[in-house]
Homo-oligomer: A and B are copies of this chain.
Amino acid sequence: MAEPSTARSLKRTSWPRKAAASVGDIDTSYLESLTGYNARRAALTIISVFLDRMAQYELRPVDFSVLSLIAHNPGITSRQLCGALDMLPPNLVGMLRELEGRGVIEKREHPTDRRAQGLHLSAAGKKLYAKAQRTATELEVDALHDLSAEERETLHGLLRRVYRPQRKSGEPDQPG
């Protein structure tokens, strides 16, 4: 009710983890042999840190992803964002409206398609995103302090091969 209008709550997802000791008594070895389980646990762990560090910018992971794609692809359309982030169009509408309301992004007319609209960062949006990207890059190193740079690269490569299907043989696609 009486909250800052544009702001969202962005509350912490974490919950007191002192019960972690009890996990030691439980055999989780089979679940830990499954990639989906491990990938989801790892993602949630990093996202928790992400939420903490990005709260200062009032950006959730999905907001950051959207801003990042707009920053690196000025004029990208809503539909392209959906394709790249695997989101559904209706779920993007409110987000974009909010970011526009905050003065972070701008919608301009598309050069060739009058149905579509090109998305751009505002001047303020560019400043915000630059800071947020620095924070994200730092966060990456801090949250993964146990992994060397080489191990992180290995991890990313393997994960991409999971979610991005390999080309069969002579299939043309974007060159590495």
Contacts and interface: CB of A to CB of B under 8 A. Distances in A.
Contacts of A143: 35, 162
* Most chain B C-beta atoms within 10 Å of own C-beta, residue among A36, A133, A155: A36
A24 interface: yes
Interface of A: 15, 19-20, 22-47, 50, 61, 65, 68-69, 72-73, 76, 79-80, 82-84, 86, 88, 133, 136-137, 140, 143-144, 146-147, 151-152, 154-156, 158-163, 165-166, 173-174
A36 B47 contact: yes
A166 to B, nearest CB: 5
User: A-side binding surface: helix, strand, loop or mixed?
Assistant: helix
Contact of A33 (B22, B156, B173): B156
A83 B39 contact: no
B36 A61 contact: yes
Contacts of A173: 24
28 contacts: A19-B83, A20-B83, A26-B73, A27-B73, A31-B65, A32-B156, A34-B140, A35-B143, A35-B144, A35-B155, A35-B159, A36-B43, A36-B46, A36-B47, A36-B61, A39-B43, A40-B43, A40-B61, A41-B86, A41-B163, A43-B43, A44-B86, A45-B163, A146-B161, A147-B161, A147-B162, A155-B155, A155-B162
